[in-house]
Each structure stands twice: as C-alpha cells, then as structure tokens.
Structure 1
Amino acid sequence: MRKAILLVTLAAFTLTSCGSKKKIAELEAKNKEIQDLLNSATVKLNTCLAEKEQMAQRIEDLRQTNNQLITTKDQITTLSSKGAENLERTLESLKEKDMKITRLQDALTRKDSVTVALVTSIKRAVGINDPDIEVNVEKGVVYISIADKLLFKSGSYEVSDRAKEILGKVAAIVKDKPTFECMVEGHTDNVPIKNPVLQDNWDLSVKRATSIVRVLQRDFGIEPQRLVASGRGEYVPLEANTTAEGRARNRRTRILVLPKIDQFYDMIEKEMKGQPTGASTGSGR
C-alpha cells in the first residue's frame, strides 16, 4: 500500500513539473517575441532618425540654393512655383517623420515607465536595503530574488513566519495590479538532498515554489490563475558551488512579476505596419 501511495505521489510531482516547464517555455517564448518586436521597433526608429537627418540636410541645401538665387541680381524672382511646391512637400514629409518618431518614442518610453514604476514600488515595499533581497529587471520582467534563509529552514519546504511577512508585501503589490501574473521559481545549490520525502533537488525546488504559491493564494488571496510554480533545481546557479558563499547565493527563490502591457506593444506593432494608432493604445487586455 505504501508503495502505491509513493508511485501516485511521484506521478503527481512529475505532472506538476511538466506543467511548470510548459508554462516557463510559453513565457520565455513570449518574452523572446516581445524582445524581437522591441528590437525591430528600435531598428525602424534609428532608420527614421537617419531619414530625418537626411531630409534636414536636403532642406538646408534647398534654402541655401534659394538664397543664392535671391541674391543674384538677374534672378531675384526666379524661385519657381514648382520649386516652392517641392520645398513644401519636403517640409510636410519631414513633419510626418517627426510625428512617427514621436509616437514610437512615446510607446517605448511608456513601456519603460511602467517597468521602472513597478521596480520602485517593489523596492520600497519589500525593503531593498536587505542584502538577501534583490530586485532587478531583465527584458522587461521584474525579478524579486529572496535568499532561502529568509523563507525556509535548511532542506525544508515549510514557509517560515518571517517569509510570510515578506510575501505579504509582495502580494500587496501583485493584488494592486490585477492584470499582472506572478511566477515563483525555486533554486537550490548542488548539495544532494537528504530527505526521505524528496528524491532530489528538483523535488525540493518545486516543493518550495508550490509552498510559496499556496501562501500567496491562501493567506493573501492572490487568484490561483495568476500564479505559476516552477522549480529549477541546481541548474541555474548565480555562482560556482565550490564555496559556502556561492552555495548560499544559489539557494534562492525568484518571484517574477509579469505586467501585461500589450497595449504598448500593439501601438509599436501598428506603427511598424503604418497603421493609425489611437483608441487601441488606451485599452488593455
């Protein structure tokens, strides 16, 4: 009977891990898609700036030519109607380029502003002065990295009371952003786990992630559909596991806060396609 229970438990852990890996792959793919879109927007922005500079030089050349014609006694009134029209069209084209550049810059700035505001609020809430808590941004995603000693006892996946205080502050931020998603990643060092319930560090990292997810759901009311629990085991270290300090750095839990700012990316994408922007930039998903 015990053997059957153990097999069922291992199967459940396997299914949970597979589901988490699939969700991680989907989020990583989405991050790559967004990064590719931002890269394309940046390329087009640089192209527009170069064209603007060329047009400005062209206008300056035309103005110098006109000045030369005006100062020539025999041709003081020879600026033709056609030349004036060409100059007017050039000025209008430059104005349109300026408007497009402004819209692209505004979309990118607004996206960056959302991320900066989120990082600032998280740092203020969790107390960034604690060296065991780090907040940073990678490719538009906010990461909160918490050392395991603030969350768990050695080799355990039971969340401590001190951890609940920290998680409560993070939960308050997530609850205040109802369109955000929250992924919890467990990380370990490479020291083999000695626990009859856990098979290896994969198990430990996943169990720690699910323990935190349960706290966020049960104790702080975060909707479960906004939460993802995943375990990375010992395979994404920050430092080498050859020293106690390095192993301590590697034993951590990362909470990823994923803002849904699709309206900004929609604005960039439509601008890239030459479509008008406006109403769509003011609504979210």
Structure 2
Amino acid sequence: MIKRISIPLVLLSVLFISSCGVNKKTHQALVQQHQDLAELYQKSQVDLAESRSRVKSLEDQLEQERKNNASLKDALARLQATLDNSISNTSQGNANISKLVDEINASNKYIQHLVNTKAKSDSLNMVLTNNLTRSLSREELKDVDVQVLKGVVYISLSDNMLYKSGSYEISDQAGETLSKIAKIIQDYKDYDVLIEGNTDSDPIAKANIRNNWDLSTLRASSVVQALQNNYGVDPKRLTAGGRGQYNPIANNSSPEGKARNRRTQIIITPKLDQFMELIDKAPESAEVPDTTE
C-alpha cells in the first residue's frame, strides 16, 4: 500500500518542482519585461516632453514669423507708397529741371547779349574818345580829361587852362584848345552840348559875384558864348549850367582836390545811330595819345 502512494507523491513532487521552476523563469521574464516597459515609458515621457517643448518653440517661432510677415507687409506697403511718390516727384522734378535748364539757357543767352553789348559799347566809347582826343597835344591833354560813360561824352577842362584866376573871363591860352573842341562839336552837328561849371568849396570874394553858384554859371556861360561867337557853334545846341561846389569829384580838404573840383565840363550826348557812324569815321589805328611824358 505504501509503495503505491509513494509513486504518485514522487510524481507530484516532480511536477511541483517542475511547475515552480517554470513560474520562476516566467516571473523573471515578466519582471524584466516590466522593467523594460518602465524604461521605455520613462523614455517616452521624456521624448514627449521634449516634443511638446519643440512644438511650443515652433509655435512661438511661427507666431513671431507671422508678426514679422505682417511688419514686412507694412514696410512693403510704405516702400511702395514711397516709390509711387518718388516716381510722381521724379516726373514733376524732370519737368522742373527741364524748365530750369530752359531758364538757364535763356539767362546765358541774355548774359552773352549783355557781354556783346558791353564789348560793342566799349569799342564805340574807345572810337569816340580817340576821335575827341586825337587832335589834342600832350600838353593840352594834361588839362583836358575825356571820358565816355553810358554813351555820354564828358570833356573836363581845368580852370587853370580856361580862366584867369578867380574870374569867369576865358584866358588867351584857352583859345587854341577851345577851337579844337569846337571843331569836334561842329563835326557832329546833331549832338546836344551842355556846358557845366563846377567850383571848389572856397567862397568867392568878388563884389559882382555873389557865390559859387554865380561863378560856376558865369564860367559855363563864358564857354558857351566863346563857342558861339568865336567858333560858330549853333547856340540852339548849347546849354549853360552851373553846379557850384555841389558836384565834387575829389575831397576839398587838399589843394589838389580843390584843383580837380574847379573844372568846366562839356557834355556831349549823341544818339545811338550817331554812335554807329563813329565807327566808319574812326582812324585806322585808334590809339589814345600817351600823356605820361
């Protein structure tokens, strides 16, 4: 009886032992699998967190790019408006520049016209001056100053050459010079002639002459009458005038200045067409006589 029971017990023991051995291996495998799964889960959690962080970063970047894109659109719109305005201004500017160039060209033409006119006027003035002075000697030119200003001829005669001291009577030595000036006046019959007397600032001390106004006018009248009576100049062309001491050309504080202010001017006013005629009458070599010797 005992032998029969022992065999099943042995078998059961073997089976139990075998069964326990299988469960331990499975358990160990399960434990290992659990550990692997735990590690994988942990890793997945880390990866998920990193992914979420990257997604958040990308979303922030996307939002920033959207803002940048909006700013670029605004900047582009402003640039386009500026470009449109520049194009409009350029068109207007081109028109203004073209107008300015036309004005500059017109101004240049006018300036050239003035230069040519000035050169022509200077040439005419030189011709007329030479005509008026070529018959005068060097000695006479020391007391005679001839200028042409703006088409008007000024012949200035010193009182030392024309008059006796402190008088309005013409001196004998003035006759030859006046005769030459009278010939020039006679050559140009249509010119008007003004004889203008001038004095210095010293008051006159003559019983029959009240002041420098009287003296300057009387001196001018003496020259007018000499031109009329002695040299046959038409009196209709002549005018006598006095300016006293009130038209000085130098300072009256020195003897030299006073001597320059005591003068009689013969002012000849030709017309433009008469100026043109002077060119044909000019000498071949129109040189002003040298007065330096």
TM-score by length of 1: 0.54
Q: Which moved more, 1:181-190 or 1:130-139?
A: 130-139
The whole-number CA distance in structure 2 between the counterparts of 1:162 and 1:253 is 15
Q: 1:120 to 1:196 in 2, by over 3 A?
A: same
The whole-number CA distance in structure 1 between the counterparts of 2:147 and 2:135 is 14
User: Is 2:128 the counterpart of 1:118?
Assistant: yes
- In the alignment, is the contact (CA less than 8 A) between 1:186 and 1:205 conserved in 2? yes
Q: Quick one: percent identity of the two aligned structures?
A: 43
Letter in 2 for 1:51: N
Matches within 5 A, 1:183-202: 183-202=194-213
After superposition, the C-alpha distances for 1:184-230 in whole angstroms (9 at most, x for unaligned) are 11111111111111110000000000000001111111111111111
- In the alignment, is the contact (CA less than 8 A) between 2:124 and 2:275 conserved in 1? no
Letter in 2 for 1:160: S
Q: Which residue of 2 aligns with 1:222?
A: 233
Say which SS state the counterpart of residue 222 (structure 1) adopts.
Answer: coil
How far the C-alpha of 1:173 sits from its partner, in A, is 0.7
Q: 1:264 to 1:161 in 2, by over 3 A?
A: closer
List gaps (5 residues or longer) in structure 1: 1-46, 55-96, 266-285
Say which SS state the counterpart of residue 134 (structure 2) adopts.
Answer: helix
The whole-number CA distance in structure 1 between the counterparts of 2:107 and 2:230 is 58
Q: Which residue of 1 aligns with 2:152?
A: 141
User: Is 2:205 the counterpart of 1:151?
Assistant: no
Task: Give the RMSD, CA atoms, in angstroms.
Answer: 3.1
Letter in 2 for 1:173: I
How far the C-alpha of 1:232 sits from its partner, in A, is 0.8
List gaps (5 residues or longer) in structure 2: 1-100, 277-293
- In the alignment, is the contact (CA less than 8 A) between 1:108 and 1:264 conserved in 2? no
Say which SS state the counterpart of residue 218 (structure 2) adopts.
Answer: helix
After superposition, the C-alpha distances for 1:116-137 in whole angstroms (9 at most, x for unaligned) are 2111111212335632221112
After superposition, the C-alpha distances for 1:92-116 in whole angstroms (9 at most, x for unaligned) are xxxxx8xx99998876665544332
Q: Which residue of 2 aligns with 1:51?
A: 105
The whole-number CA distance in structure 1 between the counterparts of 2:102 and 2:231 is 48
The whole-number CA distance in structure 1 between the counterparts of 2:271 and 2:126 is 14
Q: Which residue of 2 aligns with 1:280?
A: none
After superposition, the C-alpha distances for 1:30-59 in whole angstroms (9 at most, x for unaligned) are xxxxxxxxxxxxxxxxx99942799xxxxx
Say which SS state the counterpart of residue 131 (structure 1) adopts.
Answer: helix
Say which SS state the counterpart of residue 195 (structure 2) adopts.
Answer: strand
Matches within 5 A, 1:201-240: 201-240=212-251
Q: Which moved more, 1:150-159 or 1:200-209?
A: 150-159
Q: 1:102 to 1:49 in 2, by over 3 A?
A: farther
Q: 1:144 to 1:53 in 2, by over 3 A?
A: closer
The whole-number CA distance in structure 1 between the counterparts of 2:136 and 2:198 is 20
Q: Which residue of 2 aligns with 1:11?
A: none
Letter in 2 for 1:236: N
The whole-number CA distance in structure 1 between the counterparts of 2:134 and 2:249 is 24
Q: Which residue of 1 aligns with 2:256?
A: 245
The whole-number CA distance in structure 2 between the counterparts of 1:264 and 1:172 is 18
The whole-number CA distance in structure 2 between the counterparts of 1:177 and 1:166 is 17
Residue 191 of structure 2, aligned match among 165, 173, 180: 180
The whole-number CA distance in structure 2 between the counterparts of 1:165 and 1:198 is 27
The whole-number CA distance in structure 2 between the counterparts of 1:178 and 1:108 is 26
The whole-number CA distance in structure 2 between the counterparts of 1:153 and 1:53 is 55
After superposition, the C-alpha distances for 1:40-93 in whole angstroms (9 at most, x for unaligned) are xxxxxxx99942799xxxxxxxxxxxxxxxxxxxxxxxxxxxxxxxxxxxxxxx
The whole-number CA distance in structure 1 between the counterparts of 2:121 and 2:128 is 11
Q: 1:158 to 1:124 in 2, by over 3 A?
A: same
Q: 1:49 to 1:141 in 2, by over 3 A?
A: farther
The whole-number CA distance in structure 1 between the counterparts of 2:149 and 2:131 is 17
- In the alignment, is the contact (CA less than 8 A) between 1:48 and 1:101 conserved in 2? no
User: Is 2:281 the counterpart of 1:255?
Assistant: no
How far the C-alpha of 1:158 sits from its partner, in A, is 0.6
Q: Which residue of 2 aligns with 1:127?
A: 137
- In the alignment, is the contact (CA less than 8 A) between 1:132 and 1:146 conserved in 2? yes
